[in-house]
Amino acid sequence: MSLGKQMIEQLRLLAEGKTVLQLMPAADAEYRRLVTVADGQEARLEFFDHDRYSVALRALEVGAAANVAGDPRAYLSAAAAEVARRLGYLEEPLAVWELDGREGMAQLRSSPPLREGDEVSYWEVTLTAGAQPGARAVRYRWAPGMAEREVVVYPATFALVARMADSLAAALLAGE
């Protein structure tokens, strides 16, 4: 069973009021975390609330058992291109914002971001290369006068969350 399908099953159980063993409160207790493991991959969904078909997404992290034995920059470049291609169904297209092979990190952002007046909203996907490569997708918002950007609570159906998890996992493996 794919990572996304496994996650949907766990979310359905949660929506039915059943206990999901992988559901954990986060350290700051503002949100909850659902951990799903399938086929050597792991997804961590951070969310604030849920209903029968959707969650209030805070962040989605995926880790894959990929082989990054070679050049981290080449791996991150290939994985970033795959992320941009595979997540093309999001509101805005993604483009590489930063790529640092020495730090083992790449960052993609919506390009262009969504602008509503002076407010800007965008997706950010951070890729890491290391013993277990990972990807973290978060939606942010910023407006003039704000000291820092803030995480946007994003309403996402179970199906969208699963698709994103599968897309990120496939992109991490494609970068090998």
Q: What gap in Å lies between CA 33 and CA 111, rounded to an integer?
A: 28
Query: What is the tens place of the pLDDT at every residue in 108-126?
Result: 999 999 999 999 999 999 9
Burial readout 70-100 (b: 16 or more C-beta within 10 A, e: otherwise) = eebeebbbebbbbbbebbeeeebebebbebe
pTM for this model (two decimals): 0.91
SS3 state at 128: strand
Structure tokens that stand for 109 in this block: 């952002």
Query: 146: Cβ–Cβ under 8 A, 6 or more apart, which residues?
Result: none
Range of the domain at 47: 3-174
pLDDT tens string 5-52: 999 999 999 889 887 756 565 555 578 889 999 888 999 999 988 999
The number of folded domains in the chain is: 1
Residue 65 — pLDDT band, cuts 50, 70, 90?
confident
Element (H, E) at 120: strand 119-128
